């Protein structure tokens, strides 16, 4: 537990967050090494409503979302305010599509098409990855155990003194600017402690 620091209600594994460089670039993944094929994506009603708002544009990339002019129901209710997103027969999220052998996300493509942030459309689970949050208490924020088996993630040198820009962006969008500032402060305090 010594590698964990408390920020708000979270225990944060600072070393793991500083150890990773993540690059989520549209078209970078193939269907064999793709987080869109390996994880179940669960969303709440607010996220579902946000996705539904952009389905017309998403259908231009993934036309299978519509049948006979009607949207297919691609959300399975798990319990009150929790839904999972369906997968294709190949095991990919229904919002994925393949172009030139690369897996793309129709929600991410929709954001690009509309010149808005993917953080306004994509599920929080997708946006958080390759970071992970435990479901049990205490809540631990760390890097997903399998993150480095994907081409979009690289190990950073242990000597780095700041978060990679992409990880900082994830932390700020998901947890807020104040959380990011406190994370930086805690990491700097640890760095100075280790140097003394």
Going residue by residue through the chain, which has 196 residues, state the pLDDT in tens, using 9 for 90 and above: 457 889 988 999 998 999 999 887 666 676 566 777 777 899 999 999 999 999 999 999 999 999 888 898 899 999 988 999 998 888 889 998 888 777 889 999 999 999 999 999 999 999 999 999 998 888 999 999 988 888 888 999 877 788 999 999 999 999 999 999 999 988 887 765 655 4
Instruction: Please list, in sequence order, all residues whose beta carbon lies within 8 angstroms of the beta carbon of residue 86, skipping any fewer than 6 positions away.
Output: 74, 75, 76, 93, 94
Is the C-alpha dihedral spanning 98, 145, 127, 76 positive or negative?
positive
The DSSP 8-state label assigned to residue 39 in this structure reads S
Phi (first) and psi of residue 88, to 5 degrees: -80, 175
Question: What pairs with residue 117 in β-bridges?
Answer: none
Angle at 61 between CA 58 and CA 62, to 5 degrees: 80
Both tokens of residue 135? 């479901």
Global pTM reads 0.83
Cα separation of 12 and 87, whole Å?
A: 31
- The answer to whether 83 and 40 are in contact (CB under 8 A) is no
The H-or-E segment that residue 76 falls in is strand 75-79
Instruction: Please list, in sequence order, all residues whose beta carbon lies within 8 angstroms of the beta carbon of residue 28, skipping any fewer than 6 positions away.
Output: 102, 151, 152
Question: What pairs with residue 76 in β-bridges?
Answer: 84
């Amino acid at each position: 537990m010594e590698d964990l620091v408390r920020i708000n209600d979270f225990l944060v594994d600072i070393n793991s967050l500083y150890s990773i460089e993540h690059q989520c670039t549209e078209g970078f993944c193939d269907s064999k090494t793709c987080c869109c094929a390996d994880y179940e994506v669960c969303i709440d009603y607010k996220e579902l409503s946000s996705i539904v708002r952009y389905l017309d544009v998403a259908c231009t990339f993934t036309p299978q979302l519509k049948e006979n002019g009607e949207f297919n129901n691609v959300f399975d209710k798990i319990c009150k305010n929790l839904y999972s997103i369906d997968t294709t027969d190949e095991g990919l999220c229904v919002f994925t599509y393949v172009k030139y052998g690369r897996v793309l996300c129709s929600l991410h493509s929709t954001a690009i098409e509309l010149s808005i942030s993917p953080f306004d459309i994509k599920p929080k689970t997708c946006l958080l990855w390759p970071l992970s949050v435990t479901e049990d208490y205490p809540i631990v924020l760390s890097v997903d155990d399998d993150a480095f088996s994907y081409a979009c993630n690289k190990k950073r040198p242990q000597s780095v003194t700041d978060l990679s820009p992409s990880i900082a962006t994830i932390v700020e969008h998901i947890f807020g600017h104040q959380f990011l500032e406190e994370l930086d402060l805690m990491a700097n305090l640890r760095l100075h402690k280790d140097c003394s």
